[in-house]
Structure formats: C-alpha cells, structure tokens
Structure 1
Amino acid sequence: MLIVHHLNVSQSERIVWLLEELELPYELCVYERDRVTQFALPELRSVHPLGSAPVLCDGDVVMAESGAIVEYVLARYGNGRLSVPVTSPQYPDYLYWLHYANASLMAQIGLNWIAAMVAGANSDSPVLPTLRQRLDRHLQMVEDRLSRSPYFAGSEFTAADIMMHFPFGTMKAFYNVGLDKLPNVKAWLARISDRRGYQRGMKAAGHEQDPALDWGATRSAF
C-alpha cells in the first residue's frame, strides 16, 4: 500500500488530494509542526534526509517532492486519469503548469514571504515593492490563463490544477497573495471546491474548512 508522510498545513496535502481523486488506497502518517520554528519535527528525517513533506513510500521506493510524486503516482497508478496524453494539443500546457506551480510561482511567493519577514512590517526597503511587482506579473499570467480556459490544461481538471492550488489555498496561512483582482482565479477555486475528491482530500489532510474559500464564499465549510 502507498504510504504518505504528511506534514500538517503543507504542500503534502496535494498528494492526499491526488490519491482521493484517484480513489487509491493509502496509509497516512501525519506529522505536526514545531510550535516555535513552524518547521517539521526531526522525526521526519528518519523517512527522508531532508526531513520535509511530502514523502511517498511505495514498497522500496521512497520519494519526496510533490511534483515528482504526482508524476510517479499518475504514471504507475493513474491509468490515464488526471493527466494529458503526450499526443494531445493540451499536453504542453499540462506539463508547463504542473511544473510552474513549484518551480516558478511558489519560488516567487516564498521569496516574497521571507523578504517581508526579514524586512519587517514597517520597512521602506525598495526590495519589497520590486518583489511584489514580480509576483504580480506571475498572478496576472495565471489570471489570464484562467480567462481562456476553466482549468490549467484546458477544459478538464488535471493534476496541473492540483499542483497550482496550494499557492492560492493553504499557502495563505503563511503568505496571502491576494485575490481581489483575480476573479478568474476565484472562479477556478470555486470549481475546485465542488469536487468530492478535493473535499475528501482536504478533510483527510486535516482541514476543517476549505483553505481556499475564506475570501467571502458561502461554501467555506465542508
């Protein structure tokens, strides 16, 4: 059986959600954050050297990195679900957004978050507005994409949407990118929130409410 090592309030919820969407059996091992540092507690390093989540165990396979795990699960157990065939015209979009989520968007959000913490709330550093401008370019690109398509890879929900969800959902616990000027992103989040697999996944991951819909939507509770 697949074993998911999951850190509360983290990107490892992607893997829980993916497995719920695919209706695959799995065992969930949950880890709490250190109350002071907010990092994972040291016992997770006994599973993977970096001590971060997610980690997927599948027999002798021990794999970290949420994007890699998503591709692994889909390739071995997806049977074509939640992915796009390489021969499809939508495959480049699927592949791009699947990897953009962490390689570019989360990297920029993380940089903004850390810079804001280091600089402090009352900082007049010119770095902060420059970083915000860079992040806003990312957000506008995402918004433009969702103005042309209901999901990132086209007309159908795929794993690219699973990867893209975290920056606008649970990441708000650490850094809120803001959705006031992103109506298409809001509409996409609402579509996601209606999915039974998503609802099961977020519950299993430890959320009592939908982490993406506390911006005034009426469907904030599961």
Structure 2
Amino acid sequence: MITVHHLNNSRSQRVLWMLEELGEAYEIQRYERNPETMLAPESLKAVHPLGKSPVLTDGELTIAESGAILEYLADTYGDGMMRPGDEPQERIDYRYWMHYSEGSLMPPLVMRLVFEKIKNSPMPFFAKPIARQIADKTQSTFLAPQIQRHLDFIEAHLKERSWFVGDRLTAADVQMSFPLEASVARGTVGNRPAIRDYVARYQARPAYQRALEAGGEYAFA
C-alpha cells in the first residue's frame, strides 16, 4: 500500500493530487506543523532522517523529495499518464520544469517568506529597526526583482499553451503547482492573467478537488 506522509499546508498536497490523477489507492499518515515555529514535527524523522515532508512509502521503499516522488509514481503507476510524449523537445521541457520548480523558483520565494518573518519576529526594540531595514533592502534590491523575473518568464510560457509540457497535464504541472499557488495566494503574481488562469484551470480538475478533500485544510500563510 502507498502511504503519503502528509504535513498540513505543505508540498505533500501535490503528491495527493498526483495519486488522484493516477487513480491509485493510498493512505495518509498525517502530521501537523508546530504552531509556534510552523516546522514539521520531530516524529517525521522516524520516516526519513531529514524529518521533512513529503515522504512516500510504498512497501519497502521510502522516497523523499517532491520531484522524485512524482517521477516514481509516473514511472511505476502511470502507464503513460502524467508523462511527456515521445517528442524530444517535450521530454526536455518535462525534465526542465520538474527541476525548475524547486531548483530555481522556490528558493527566492522561500527567502522572501523568511525575511518577512524576520521583520515580524520578537526581538529587542533597538534591534527591530535594523532588522527591518536589512530585510526591506534585501527584498527590494534582490528578492523582488528575482521573483518578478521568474513570474514574467512563466507568464510568457503559459500564454502560448494550456499546460507546461505538450498539450496535456503531466507531473511537471503537479510539480509547478505549489510555488504558483503560493504566489497567487500571497498576491505576488500581480497582473499576470496566464498564471492565474492556469492555476484556476487545474484547481477545477476533479482529481485536484479530491486531493484537497483527502488532505484537509490547505492554505498559505
């Protein structure tokens, strides 16, 4: 039996979506974030040494990292579903977006969130103005331009097509869903209709809706 070790409000939601698209049976082992630190609980380390989610177990196999999990599911259970076609360019594009999501797009988004939390974290009164100044400067001179460049790049790509690879949904779309949902939810996307339409398109899919119901409340802070 496939088990998804599912942390609330996390990347593991897209593993549930992938399984629903494939029509595979699975069970969920739930974990809740620490309400103060918002980090995963220590109990996840019993499943994987890093104690992070998502983690998937399938019999004797334990697989971590979103991209690796999605590729494993597509290769093992997909029977041609959720994978690119035979065209070389589609295979290249598929591999690119599978890696781009976490390798290029997520780092500045995570850094932006970290610096926002620094600005609002408890600290001695005399340190707060300095911390805010550093955070604001980092945001305005480095992170914001980087994020906007990435979103412009994605917007241009999605203006020409309905899905990231070829003419149908693949695991690359599932992999790209988390950073784009976060960007829409936090107002980062701005006036980029292709991204907004794309997110609305896949969120309307029955498999996505079933995954939401299975995973429980899902929101971005």
Question: Which of the five TM-score ranges fits, normalised by the shorter chain?
Answer: 0.7 to 0.9
* SS of match in other structure, 1:112: helix
Partner residue of 1:206?
Answer: 216
Partner residue of 2:173?
Answer: 161
> Does the 8 A contact of 1:48 with 1:64 survive in 2?
yes
Change (3 A) 1:147 1:171: closer
The alpha carbon displacement at 1:89 in A equals: 3.0
> Does the 8 A contact of 1:32 with 1:40 survive in 2?
yes
Superposition RMSD on alpha carbons, in Å? 2.0
Partner residue of 1:127?
Answer: 138
Change (3 A) 1:4 1:48: same
1:172 and 1:48 map into 2 onto residues whose CA distance is 31
Does 1:151 find its partner at 2:163?
A: yes
- Structure 2 residues without counterparts, runs of 5 or longer: 121-127
1:66 and 1:156 map into 2 onto residues whose CA distance is 20
1:115 and 1:76 map into 2 onto residues whose CA distance is 40
TM-score scaled by structure 1? Answer: 0.87
Partner residue of 1:139?
Answer: 151
31-40 or 161-170: bigger deviation: 161-170
The alpha carbon displacement at 1:194 in A equals: 1.7
The alpha carbon displacement at 1:50 in A equals: 0.7
2:187 and 2:175 map into 1 onto residues whose CA distance is 16
Instruction: Give deviations 1:41-100, integer Å, cap 9, x for gaps.
Output: 111111111111111111111111011000111111111101114544322111111111
The alpha carbon displacement at 1:207 in A equals: 2.9
1:62 and 1:19 map into 2 onto residues whose CA distance is 16
2:82 and 2:3 map into 1 onto residues whose CA distance is 20
2:149 and 2:75 map into 1 onto residues whose CA distance is 33
1:5 and 1:171 map into 2 onto residues whose CA distance is 24
> Does the 8 A contact of 2:151 with 2:189 survive in 1?
no
> Does the 8 A contact of 1:3 with 1:27 survive in 2?
yes
1:56 and 1:2 map into 2 onto residues whose CA distance is 7
Larger radius of gyration: 2
The alpha carbon displacement at 1:189 in A equals: 1.1
Change (3 A) 1:55 1:106: same
TM-score scaled by structure 2? Answer: 0.87
> Does the 8 A contact of 1:5 with 1:31 survive in 2?
yes
Instruction: Give deviations 1:147-192, integer Å, cap 9, x for gaps.
Output: 111111132111111111111225777xx25232210001101111
> Does the 8 A contact of 2:84 with 2:166 survive in 1?
no
Q: Amino acid of the residue matched to residue 67 of structure 2?
A: G
Change (3 A) 1:29 1:171: farther
1:3 and 1:165 map into 2 onto residues whose CA distance is 21
Aligned length: 208
Percent of aligned positions with the same letter in both sequences? 37
Partner residue of 1:216?
Answer: none
Divergent runs of 4+, >4 A: 119-122, 170-173
- Structure 1 residues without counterparts, runs of 5 or longer: 213-222
88-97 or 181-190: bigger deviation: 88-97
Q: Amino acid of the residue matched to residue 24 of structure 1?
A: E
Q: Amino acid of the residue matched to residue 212 of structure 2?
A: M
1:28 and 1:204 map into 2 onto residues whose CA distance is 8
> Does the 8 A contact of 2:159 with 2:194 survive in 1?
yes
Does 1:181 find its partner at 2:191?
A: yes
1:181 and 1:69 map into 2 onto residues whose CA distance is 33
2:202 aligned residue (184, 192, 206): 192
